Amino acid sequence: MNGHLQFSEKKNKRDLSDIKGGTSTPRSGPSEKIINKINRAVNERRTFYSFEFFPPKTEAGVMNLYNRIDRMVAKYEPMFVDVTWGAGGSTAKLTLEISSNVQNYCATDVLMHLTCTNMPRDSVKDALDKAKEAGIRNILALRGDPPHGQDTWEKCDKGFEHALDLVKFIREEYGEYFGIAVAGYPEGHISSPNLEEDIKHLKLKVDAGADFIMTQLFYDVDLYIDFVKRCRQAEITVPILPGLMPINSYNAFKRMIAYTKATVPKEIIAAIEPIKNNDAMVKAFGIELAKKMSQKILRTGLTPGLHFYTLNLEKSVTKILGGLGLARLPSKGVRPLPWKQSCATRRRNEDVRPIFWANRPYSYLSRTISWDEFPNGRWGNSTSPAYGELYDYHLMGLKSSSVRDRLRMWGGEVQSEQDVFDKFADYIEGKIARLPWCETGIMLETLPLKQRLMAINKTGFLTINSQPRVNGARSDDEVVGWGDPDGYVYQKAYIEFFASPERIKSLKALASRKEYKTLSYHAVNAKGDQFSNYTDKNAVNAVTWGVFPGREVLQPTVVDMDSFRVWKDEAFALWISQWRSIYSSGSASWEIIQKIHDTYYLCNIVENDFVKGGLDKFMDELAGYTPAEKSASTNTEEKSKTEKA
């Protein structure tokens, strides 16, 4: 749906009276206990995998981690991710922050680590309360490592001594709200006298309420197999997930086995020593080793899934999954909704959003996070939704970048407004990775219209959001499909752009012509001056809907005039916070961006005729798109259709 722009047709109304209403059946949203998802995978004989990440030490590292998690979750769909708790509780605040953000914004369930180290009972409860408030449902209960600088672990005052105590506390205080995982050690915990005693202690943790077990890393698969069999003999019946850490470098591998005391088979040592000074060969060996270990583990049938310690790296893990045949791209055409859902428990039934934040979803989630209820089946048109205040972090988002990176990405100084127009055209062409209003590149559906879009932007209509006209496309369509099987989806063509007052004046004149009577537009500037041809100034216009067997019509995306007025503040603020800020105050570039902010309008247009609408013709005429350019664009579109056929 939220590709940058496509007007050409692809064969392809809910009542909007009450934002709090709606009678549609609640979805089994993604936010739930991980053990329930594991049990479903077992019943379906489906192998799953999960990823572990740790909190980086720098702000830039945290931003990079968000991007990586978001990318890996979207591309590979792990069952869950887990976020570690630093030694001695050193990353307590950041662990909670990352877990909360990933849970709320990256559409995956999070298993948050929680340790006893340096954590009095009150601090543990505070962390759990905040986790619950953030919608986190799963905790990995650990004793934890000694604080930095200490060789031995000591219980803190009014704290817990063992992970068992932490498991008991969670169950006593929170009942069954949290799913609980605990650690297992295939070679026994370093502080245990022997493996038998360690398994007895593990049994106590399970009996106290642990739902499943995740093992420490190992390189001897036979030890894991023996460990699981011993656990079963001890009547531990919960799933035991193997923890796998791919070898990415020789030195890191040696440090890790020295720290964990993990046994390394002689054949692995014999294979890695001769190549230890060749990083590429070591990494390739690590990928192949992890693949073979995984294959051997899965053949035993002792585990339904694999857990990967990623070390915040991406390529090795994804290559391993590819080698195993497990790396699956998200299933096309089976998205529950056109936009990515949040994992937050309170948003499980949310199924309506304004289209304006389509390319800045994190900001929308953040600005609505305090809502007690979310639109389900209806979007109100009587009062303005109470969006959260616009703060700096909304403008930065989870995908922000440094001034230097933005300067490099957008090509340095601008000497005229035309230079800015060209930057937008470069984004369409793929020369620029993103814009402040568009956190990713253009969508697949946009590619056939690249020449047209570049021309529109070069003439000063700076497009930031759009969707194609769709008339009855199947719900499993690879590009625009969503919702239940055997359904049909529909969309009104939509475009949103910045333009000068002169261009908005031309737009008003052109839109008044009879041939464009099915167009609805709304334009507003930074000061709040606005123009619109809507007769109802609080209008809500459904622009995406779907018809599915055995249920009422779903309308997940709307154009809401009140929400647009809220969005315009954010959209204009991005000119200042993300673009003007990279230039010296008072410079020519600074002044140009300031002028655009102060004088331009933000405009959205909806083509209400989703069968024969002519938004493409309207924009061509408005932008002065010449017949020769149209011909080139048409040839491109016809070529694309032929290739698809």
Structural domain containing residue 550 = 360-372+385-644
Helix (H) or strand (E) holding 470: strand 470-474
| pLDDT at residue 6, rounded to an integer | 34
Q: Which residue has the higher pLDDT, 263 or 412?
A: 263
- pLDDT above 80 for 145: no
Is residue 275 domain-resident?
no
Measured CA to CA, the distance from residue 161 to residue 331 in angstroms comes to 45
Q: In what order do the strands lie in the sheet with 519-525?
A: 462-467, 493-499, 601-607, 519-525, 530-532
| pLDDT at residue 58, rounded to an integer | 83
- pLDDT above 90 for 190: no
Classified as helix, coil or strand, 182 is strand
CA nearest neighbour of 260 among 182, 186, 161: 186
DSSP code of residue 468: -
CB atoms within 10 A of CB 267: 9
* Stretch 622-641: mean pLDDT: 50
Is residue 81 domain-resident?
yes
Measured CA to CA, the distance from residue 141 to residue 145 in angstroms comes to 12
CA nearest neighbour of 85 among 137, 131, 152: 131
Query: Sign of the C-alpha dihedral, residues 261, 262, 263, 264?
Result: negative
Residues 460 and 594 in one domain: yes
| pLDDT at residue 349, rounded to an integer | 78
Residues 313 and 444 in one domain: no
Lowest average pLDDT, out of 104-113, 380-389, 487-496, 543-552, goes to 380-389
CA nearest neighbour of 551 among 94, 9, 195, 27: 27
* Stretch 575-586: mean pLDDT: 93
| pLDDT at residue 353, rounded to an integer | 92
Q: For the chain, what is the total number of helices (H) and then of strands (E)?
A: 21, 18
Who contacts 349 (Cβ-Cβ below 8 Å, separation ≥6)? Answer: 22, 24, 26, 27, 29, 374, 376
Is residue 331 domain-resident?
no
Measured CA to CA, the distance from residue 541 to residue 31 in angstroms comes to 30
Residues 110 and 235 in one domain: yes
Who contacts 278 (Cβ-Cβ below 8 Å, separation ≥6)? Answer: none
CB atoms within 10 A of CB 53: 23
| pLDDT at residue 309, rounded to an integer | 97
Measured CA to CA, the distance from residue 122 to residue 346 in angstroms comes to 26
Measured CA to CA, the distance from residue 75 to residue 524 in angstroms comes to 37
* Stretch 256-264: mean pLDDT: 92
Q: What CATH number corresponds to the domain at position 78?
A: 3.20.20.220
DSSP code of residue 416: S
Residues listed for the chain? 645
User: Ramachandran region of residue 344, left (φ > 0), alpha (ψ -120 to 50) or beta?
Assistant: beta
Residues 315 and 393 in one domain: no
Q: What is the token pair recorded at 642?
A: 């032929």
Q: What is the token pair recorded at 4?
A: 């940058």
Classified as helix, coil or strand, 6 is coil
Residues 453 and 591 in one domain: yes
Residues 517 and 616 in one domain: yes
Residues 57 and 126 in one domain: yes
Burial class (CB in 10 A: 0-12, 13-18, 19+), 18: middle
Average pLDDT, the chain: 84
The DSSP bridge pattern shows strands 212-217 and 240-244 to be parallel
Residues 121 and 167 in one domain: yes
Core vs surface per residue 182-220: b (16+ CB within 10 A) or e: bbbbbbbbeebeebeebbebbebbbebbbbbbbbbbbbb
| pLDDT at residue 154, rounded to an integer | 59
Residues 78 and 172 in one domain: yes
Taking a C-beta distance cutoff of 8 angstroms, is the pair 407, 386 a contact?
no
Is residue 69 domain-resident?
yes
- The whole model's pTM is what? 0.71
* Stretch 578-595: mean pLDDT: 95
| pLDDT at residue 433, rounded to an integer | 86
DSSP code of residue 194: S
Is residue 637 domain-resident?
yes
- pLDDT above 90 for 407: no
| pLDDT at residue 90, rounded to an integer | 66
- For the ranges 49-53, 142-146, 335-339, 475-479, the one whose mean pLDDT is highest: 49-53
Measured CA to CA, the distance from residue 372 to residue 314 in angstroms comes to 36
Is residue 13 domain-resident?
no
CB atoms within 10 A of CB 321: 21
Measured CA to CA, the distance from residue 23 to residue 552 in angstroms comes to 9
Measured CA to CA, the distance from residue 514 to residue 499 in angstroms comes to 23
Taking a C-beta distance cutoff of 8 angstroms, is the pair 454, 426 a contact?
no
Burial class (CB in 10 A: 0-12, 13-18, 19+), 56: middle
Q: With helix as H, strand as E and coil as C, how does 96-112 read?
A: HHHHHHHHHHCCCEEEE
Residues 317 and 461 in one domain: no
Query: Sign of the C-alpha dihedral, residues 116, 122, 126, 131?
Result: positive
User: Among all chains, which residue has been given the structure tokens 């693949």?
Assistant: 291
Q: Which residue has the higher pLDDT, 553 or 30?
A: 553
Is residue 320 domain-resident?
yes
pLDDT range class, residue 152, cuts 50, 70, 90: low
Residue of 9, 32, 44, 52 marked catalytic: 52
Question: How many domains does the chain divide into?
Answer: 2
pLDDT in tens, 358-396: 988 888 887 887 776 777 666 654 344 567 666 544 445
Measured CA to CA, the distance from residue 522 to residue 524 in angstroms comes to 7
* Stretch 151-170: mean pLDDT: 76
pLDDT in tens, 270-318: 999 999 999 999 999 999 999 999 999 999 999 999 999 999 999 999 9
Is residue 341 domain-resident?
no
Classified as helix, coil or strand, 617 is helix
- pLDDT above 70 for 159: no
| pLDDT at residue 208, rounded to an integer | 97
Percent over 70 (pLDDT), the chain? 82
Classified as helix, coil or strand, 282 is helix
User: What are the residues facing 547 on neighbouring strands?
Assistant: 488
Measured CA to CA, the distance from residue 494 to residue 618 in angstroms comes to 12
- pLDDT above 60 for 47: yes
pLDDT in tens, 199-254: 999 999 999 999 999 999 999 999 999 999 999 999 999 999 999 999 999 999 99
Taking a C-beta distance cutoff of 8 angstroms, is the pair 211, 176 a contact?
no
Query: Sign of the C-alpha dihedral, residues 371, 372, 375, 380?
Result: negative
Residues 100 and 198 in one domain: yes
Lowest average pLDDT, out of 7-11, 100-104, 169-173, goes to 7-11
Classified as helix, coil or strand, 376 is coil
267 in catalytic set? no
Q: With helix as H, strand as E and coil as C, how does 220-256 read?
A: CHHHHHHHHHHHHHCCCCCCEEEEECCCCCHHHHHHH
Residues 556 and 503 in one domain: yes
Q: What is the token pair recorded at 22?
A: 């709606």
